[in-house]
Structure 1
Amino acid sequence: MKTGKFIVIEGLEGAGKTTAHQSVVEVLKREGITDVIFTREPGGTPLAEKLRHLIKHENEEPVTDKAELLMLYAARIQLVENIIKPALAAGKWVVGDRHDLSSQAYQGGGRQMDKAFLATLKTSVLDNFEPDFTLYLDITPEIGLARARGRGALDRIEQQNLDFFYRTRQRYLALVENNPKAVIINAEQDIDKVRTDIQSAVKNFVEMNRNK
């Protein structure tokens, strides 16, 4: 491989992003790609991790929708500029737990924020930077949130009502269905089938980019 690639895993709470990450790394190693780093959003740098805590756990004052969105983009650009871009330039592969699609889905769909404003902010902050490949793990909110509750207490975002997550899922699907750089994985299947589907999709991506 001549350059590093940026693979992102997206999905609602409880979709199985941790398991997906493990599956992606397994495929990359089998394909001879061992120089891989893992990132998460929000977070991934000291400043971004502080913003993550505010976004997920702030309870001293109400967090407005725009403040939430701006904190997400502040954390994102710190991660992109300080970690992801340098890694890609060095030929490393980056596997990310969430990226900009999350904001388009959660804030654009769930929060019902203005899509034009979101598009302008995205362009202003990220310019044309985007993942090379996205795995969207599709799951219904009821099943995903039940899984999330099984992990422990829910954070500020996870405590939103079901309608919020239905809108988020609908927006996710609209964004990925016709995106040539994205694949939809049915995350409600048996875990072995989910793993197989993920690994097949990643293997195809690697083979298509073998000499790029």
Structure 2
Amino acid sequence: MRKGLFITVEGTDGSGKTTQIKLMEEFLKSAGNEVVLSREPGGTQISEMIRDLILDPKNTDISPLTEMMLYAAARAQHVFQVIKPALDSGKCVICDRFVDSSFAYQGCGRGVDLKTVADVNRAAVDGIVPDITFFLDIDPHLAIQRRIKTTGADRIEQEKMDFHTRVYEGYRKMALLYPDRIKTIDASKSIEEISSQIKLYLTEII
């Protein structure tokens, strides 16, 4: 039986996920928890190699279906090698993106059939479902401008604004479908206000 706590953080690029994940880590550690931080795509050597392939701006001819399956392959390795072992040993895992991102980006953003996304990822996650997911809700125009200004743009971030808008709307739909798991956080607020709201939710489940 799984003993750990699985927390995922979702949102469009530039929504402030990295900052809030660090603050979550500090909060959980201060409460006596052992915390593992990870990200998708990535988290293992193999998954990071797949990440490089997916996000390389030169790889403009990757088909939407190929992209979705590459993300799922990276996720399957990540679950097998990092997430499941950590949860089984009682650790808290905080992951920057998980399966919800595939529905938002490849399903809603790229137009891949949602049933296909679900079927492929059902195998990839091997029964692992987040205990709680934080969706950092911010206007995608503002978020992507912030991200590009800070770090430059990878292949996904270079997409036109209508793609990022579809992704954002995908996340909003997911949050409406699964309100018990996905908690929508107003990411236009200050770092401190966002963190305080997240901590309230975490306090309820730890």
Sequence identity percentage: 36
Alignment map for 1:33-112 (pairs within 5 Å): 33=33, 35-59=34-58, 62-112=61-111
Question: C-alpha separation between the residues in 1 aligned to 2:93 and 2:151?
Answer: 28
Check the 8 A contact 2:20/2:191 in 1, yes or no.
no
Query: Taking structure 2 as the reference length, what is the TM-score of the superposition?
Result: 0.94
1:177-203 per-position Cα deviation (integer Å, ceiling 9, x unaligned): 242112100101122211211222222
Aligned to 2:114: 115
Question: C-alpha separation between the residues in 2 aligned to 1:104 and 1:7?
Answer: 18
- Tell me the secondary structure at the aligned position of residue 71 of structure 1: helix
Displacement of 1:70 in angstroms is: 0.9
1:155-209 per-position Cα deviation (integer Å, ceiling 9, x unaligned): 0000111111111111111111242112100101122211211222222222xxx
Aligned to 1:192: 192
Query: Taking structure 1 as the reference length, what is the TM-score of the superposition?
Result: 0.91
1:61-92 per-position Cα deviation (integer Å, ceiling 9, x unaligned): 61111111111011000000111101111111
1:105-132 per-position Cα deviation (integer Å, ceiling 9, x unaligned): 0011111111111121122333432111
- Tell me the secondary structure at the aligned position of residue 189 of structure 1: coil
Equivalenced residue count is: 204
Alignment map for 1:176-187 (pairs within 5 Å): 176-179=175-178, 180-187=180-187
What is the one-letter code of the residue matched to 1:83? V
What is the one-letter code of the residue matched to 1:26? E
Question: C-alpha separation between the residues in 2 aligned to 1:108 and 1:61?
Answer: 18
Which 4+ stretches in 1 moved above 6 angstroms?
Answer: none
Aligned to 1:130: 129
Q: Indicate the larger mover: 91-100 or 173-182.
A: 173-182
Aligned to 2:6: 6
